[in-house]
Amino acid sequence: MSNPKEALQPIQPIYNPTTECAPREQIRAQQLELLKAQIAWTYEQVPWQKARFDACGLLPGDIKTLEDLRHIPLTDKSALRDTYPYGLFALPLNQIVRIHASSGTTGKPIVVGYNQHDIEEWRYCVMSMMQMAGVVPGDRVQMAFGYGMFTGGFGLHYGAEGLGCMMIPASSGNTERHLMMIEDYGTTVLIATPSYALHMCEVGEKLGYDWAASQLRVGLFGGEPCPPKLKQEIEARMHIICTDNDGLTEVMGPGVSGECLRARDVPHRGEDDC
């Protein structure tokens, strides 16, 4: 990769053409079948949800169209806290290979469990989101998220590896060390919160770091809002392309939606999986 700031070359996309490129009618039909299966599975496997359905007189067989979503009782964060930690799990714990959780700053943390299939689906979603943002196999991806119970670090880490990137698990903090790694390792992609990326700009400028001369070319930002003006500021100071991505603990983590290079500032949901 002699000049990674040059325009990206086309690569084989990572997506399922039978779903992402399907006609809208086919997508809706597939979503309906998946919805029916999910409701039936949840009704049988999660006693808390079954009680909710029974209380409003709803049976899985009553779900016949996508519009019937309006009849399904909503599950909010209070339910996830009331059933802490495993009350909403639909599989026995011996089939769960990993758990993640929210910070719990406003009460009990939100706990989610993943079986091996969930992990692979999560990896696929993150790979798709990263590719939309301009990440390609062979990129050197530096992680500035913390690891631990937070979904962001591990989710993006394994997605980048699945895409065929070199992963640099630097974690959060120690900004001067991050700058040294960008320089010494030839980092091409930075994963960070936008506020930390802005802090890296400030520290680097005080140290005389030449962002334009670095190999860094893509910033993947998440964990907090990244409005267009902030994105533009970081792009101008770091001399990179910045994209925003979304995720939340309750529905997997990062990979739920992201920004592509064709339609900036517009989130694209992973509709074929989420």
Instruction: Tell me the pLDDT tens digit for each residue of 23-51.
Output: 888 888 988 999 999 999 999 999 999 99
Question: Same domain for 31 and 92?
Answer: no
Question: Same domain for 123 and 107?
Answer: no
215-248 pLDDT, tens digit each: 999 999 999 989 999 999 999 999 999 999 988 8
Residue 14 has pLDDT above 90, yes or no: no
Mean pLDDT over residues 13-20, rounded? 59
148-197 pLDDT, tens digit each: 999 999 999 999 999 999 999 999 999 999 999 999 999 999 999 999 99
Q: Is 130 contained in some domain?
A: yes
Question: Same domain for 260 and 126?
Answer: yes
Question: Same domain for 151 and 47?
Answer: no
Q: Is 247 contained in some domain?
A: yes
Residue 11 has pLDDT above 90, yes or no: no
CB 176 within 8 A of CB 206: no
Question: Same domain for 43 and 92?
Answer: no
Length of the chain: 274
State the DSSP H helix or E strand holding residue 51, giving kind and residue range, or none if neither: helix 47-55
Question: Same domain for 23 and 142?
Answer: no
Question: Same domain for 101 and 145?
Answer: no
Q: Is 225 contained in some domain?
A: yes
Question: Same domain for 150 and 131?
Answer: yes
Give the predicted TM-score (pTM) of the model: 0.88
| Structural domain boundaries enclosing 22 | 7-74
Domain count, the chain: 3
Give the residue from 94, 114, 134 where a domain finishes: 114
CB 173 within 8 A of CB 121: no
Question: Same domain for 256 and 194?
Answer: yes
Q: Is 274 contained in some domain?
A: no
Question: Same domain for 69 and 196?
Answer: no
Which one is predicted more confidently, 104 or 162?
A: 162
Question: Same domain for 70 and 105?
Answer: no
Q: Is 230 contained in some domain?
A: yes
Q: Is 79 contained in some domain?
A: no
Residue 1 has pLDDT above 50, yes or no: no
Average pLDDT in the chain: 90
Question: Same domain for 34 and 19?
Answer: yes
**Integer Cα distance of 206 and 167 in angstroms:** 27
Q: Is 42 contained in some domain?
A: yes
CA atoms within 13 A on the CB side of 18: 3
